[in-house]
Amino acid sequence: MGTIGTVFAKEVLDNFRDRRTLLSALIMGPLFGPILFAFIINLSIQRSLSDAEETLDVPVIGAEHAPNLASYLESRNLRIVDAPESRDAAIAAVETGQHDVVVYIPGNIGERLRQSLPARIEVISDQANSAATRDARRVRSALYGYNQELVAMRLAARGISPLAVQPLNIDDVDVSTPSGRSALLLGMMSYFFIFSLMMGGMYLAIDSTAGERERGSLEPLLSLPVTRDRLILGKISAACLFMMLSLALSMLAFFVALNFLPLEQLGMTPNFGLPVVGKAFLLLLPFILLGAALMTLVASFTKSYREAQTWLSGLLLAPTLPILIVSVLTLRPQTVYMFIPSLSQHLLLVDMVKNEPLDPLHVTISVVCTLAIGIALTWLCARLYRREGLLG
Amino acid sequence: MIRVDDIHKSFGKVRAVRGLGFTAPDGKITGLLGPNGAGKSTTLRVLYTVLRPDSGSATIDGHDVVTDSLAARRCTGALPHGAGLYPHLTARENIVYFAKLCGLPKSELNGRVDRIIEQLDIGDIAHRRTKGFSQGERTRVALARALVHDPQNVILDEPSNGLDVMATRALRELILQLKAAGRCVLFSSHVMQEVAALCDDIVIVANGRIAAVGTANEIRERTGCEDLEDAFVAALKGVPD
């Protein structure tokens, strides 16, 4: 066994005995994502189900002035309940959060309608409250429906086809597939994968410089007849192993979570079977070297273990930044993006989950470019491991 | 044999070593004696090649510590000041790790490790993880780790720091054994009695310079002091700031 192998074996043994490393690499990192994910999905499933089906209680002031409107609302699954006495009381009740939405029908509505004049109806809600906004939207859409019925009736009474006032019939044609719709939500997955793989190597990366120094084992190690390049390579490869484990666990956890979540109810069928898990793992492999080298590099500049921890916690977010930006801007994969590590892996992963064919050129650029940067950073680590400042 | 020739080393504005030179021959114990901050550790760190001198040179068995540092390290065993162990590994695993890194062949490895464990009398703690070891236990394991490849030259930086009487005695015996085996032993200390009791040659260092070199008797004669402590103080006074 060569020097690199000796260092590698020792680091692996050492870290398997370290509860802190195991906790962060094999439990917190891999499970944080899937658990959060399952939580969010469950929440949105519950919400979307409650939206359409559940009866919504709506306080209506002056329902007695418009019995037809009231029965129309009931037919739209909105139950009219007791309302505050006046419009002012209603506004106060919405402000204090006692009611999410209140409908106010003025007493003159019957007269206005008979004269074919616009009748005023108020939907009182707090637009800053997202739950209230959803309820208000339902109420408003029911009121628009009633409005359309009145239009049709009036036109029919005058012998005009209601179609005459509807020159355009606008229809949304949604071409997204169930896999495609999944991609929107599952785009988050690559964020968690990268987070998890970075967590997996964090403590090992700190250990190779700041940790060894703080323990006082760095000088004895450096006084041995081995070149420092080999020491750092052994340490980086051990970090890579832990990152791989962390990533594999994270992917399996997602695989299990996605199988248990009722995603079909959201109209999603994620393409994340075991073959895709395998491919995604291979796709992220080059990023592991880059992550390990980057963390080792940053840790080598720090003065103490704690300082290294602070810097690396911040660094965990760096590779996820491009992903966040892309998710917000919803960019499509382009060849230029493939040169950017983490971004390229994210975009390719999203395509995979969408069940779209991967461009071989994109995959090649992503792998080669990420690997090249990883190797360059490793080389830099080895260079920096030679400087005296390392001893602190 | 260790040769140091006019080395200088500064850390920023602090001139830790300014023109130190001496020779530590085989089969003898050479003591680097001096107050705290005299430049002893810096000199030894240059010798076990974790620091590079700004100027001057040093060789170990003829290998330059800068240009041929790997060869110099190969014939050296070093115990740096406050040497730490890997707390999740057992004492034996700590020693085996260093033995492997020193390139001991597999066939000799276990035998060597067992022998050094016996020699340093750490058999009873060999299979315990080193987390929570006492200072004495830690030093002995670190020493075993440094000597496992049977180096010709041994560099010890304040090895008796934090050791109790029994451990200090054991250490002294080990150093004498190394001498008897023809090794070159160079160690630093700020405790004069220890150096006087053990060393063949004494190098008194102050402010990064040599204050006096020689056997204990020679230094007494030269300073004109009967008592070695007085001689030490007298030697220090002769050194400019």
The reported pLDDT for the residue numbered A5 is 94
The reported pLDDT for the residue numbered A43 is 79
Asked if B83 and A216 come within 8 Å (Cβ–Cβ), the reply is: yes
Indicate if ipTM > 0.95. Answer: no
Concatenated DSSP letters of A261-315: S-GGGGT------HHHHHHHHHHHHHHHHHHHHHHHHHHHT-SSHHHHHHHHHHH
Q: Residue A48 — very low, low, confident or very high, per pLDDT cuts 50/70/90?
A: low
Of all residues in chain A, the percent with pLDDT exceeding 90 is: 28
From chain A, which residues contact B within 8 Å (Cβ)? 1, 3, 6-7, 10, 13-15, 17-18, 215-217, 219-227, 388, 391
Residue ranges in chain B modelled with pLDDT below 70: 241
Pick among B63, B100, B138 to test the A interface (most A CBs inside 10 A):
B100
CB-nearest partner of B98 from A1, A224, A388: A224
CB pairs under 8 A between A and B: 79
Strand pairing category for B153-157 and A78-81 = unpaired
Q: Residue A246 — very low, low, confident or very high, per pLDDT cuts 50/70/90?
A: very high
Asked if A216 and B80 come within 8 Å (Cβ–Cβ), the reply is: yes
How many Å lie between the alpha carbon of B103 and the closest alpha carbon of chain A? 8
CB-nearest partner of B80 from A3, A18, A220: A220
Burial class (CB in 10 A: 0-12, 13-18, 19+), B36: exposed
DSSP state, residue B190: S
CA of residue B93 relative to chain centroid, distance = 23
Q: Residue A365 — very low, low, confident or very high, per pLDDT cuts 50/70/90?
A: very high
The reported pLDDT for the residue numbered B160 is 86
CB-nearest partner of B83 from A7, A220, A226: A220
> Of the segments A68-82, A85-99, B78-92, which one has the largest average pLDDT value?
B78-92
Contacts of A222 in chain B (CB under 8 A): 49-50
The one-letter code for the residue type at A41 is I
- Tell me how far apart the alpha carbons of residues A368 and B135 are, in angstroms, rounded to a whole number: 50
Instruction: Delimit the domains of chain B by residue range.
Output: 1-75+153-241, 85-150
Q: Residue A381 — very low, low, confident or very high, per pLDDT cuts 50/70/90?
A: very high
The one-letter code for the residue type at B191 is V
Q: Is A46 a residue whose pLDDT tops 80?
A: no
Packing angle, helices B91-101 and B135-147, rounded to 10: 30
CB-nearest partner of B89 from A1, A14, A216: A14
Q: Residue A49 — very low, low, confident or very high, per pLDDT cuts 50/70/90?
A: low
Average pLDDT, chain A: 86
- Tell me how far apart the alpha carbons of residues B236 and B51 are, in angstroms, rounded to a whole number: 26
Instruction: Calculate the alpha carbon distances from A316 to A149, A220, B130 in Å.
Output: 57, 31, 32
- Tell me how far apart the alpha carbons of residues A52 and A48 are, in angstroms, rounded to a whole number: 7
- Is pLDDT larger for residue A392 or for residue B123? B123
The structural domains of chain A, ordered by start, are 3-38+179-391 (no CATH), 52-165 (3.40.1710.10)
- For A300-330, the pLDDT digits (tens) are 888 888 999 899 988 888 887 887 787 777 7
Contacts of B80 in chain A (CB under 8 A): 216, 219-220, 223
Q: Residue A184 — very low, low, confident or very high, per pLDDT cuts 50/70/90?
A: low
- For A262-313, the pLDDT digits (tens) are 777 777 777 788 888 999 999 999 999 999 999 999 998 888 889 998 999 8
The reported pLDDT for the residue numbered A328 is 74
The one-letter code for the residue type at B188 is S
- Scored b (16 or more CB within 10 A) or e, B128-157 reads ebbeebeebbbbbbbbbbbbbbebbbbbbb
Q: Residue A378 — very low, low, confident or very high, per pLDDT cuts 50/70/90?
A: very high
> Of the segments A40-44, A166-170, B121-125, B151-155, which one has the largest average pLDDT value?
B151-155
CB-nearest partner of A223 from B48, B82, B97: B48
> Dihedral of CA B25/B30/B33/B36: which sign?
positive
The one-letter code for the residue type at A8 is F
CATH class of B1-75+153-241: alpha beta
Pick among B51, B54, B101 to test the A interface (most A CBs inside 10 A):
B101
Query: Which residues, listed in sequence order, are joined to residue A57 by a DSSP beta bridge?
Result: A79
Instruction: Calculate the alpha carbon distances from B225 to A56, B206, B220, B234 in Å.
Output: 104, 18, 5, 8
The reported pLDDT for the residue numbered B3 is 95
Asked if B89 and A227 come within 8 Å (Cβ–Cβ), the reply is: no
Contacts of B45 in chain A (CB under 8 A): 219
Instruction: Calculate the alpha carbon distances from A331 to A163, A283, A339, A353 in Å.
Output: 40, 20, 15, 16
The reported pLDDT for the residue numbered A40 is 79
SS3 percent helix, strand, coil of chain A, rounded to 5, is 70, 5, 25
The reported pLDDT for the residue numbered A185 is 67
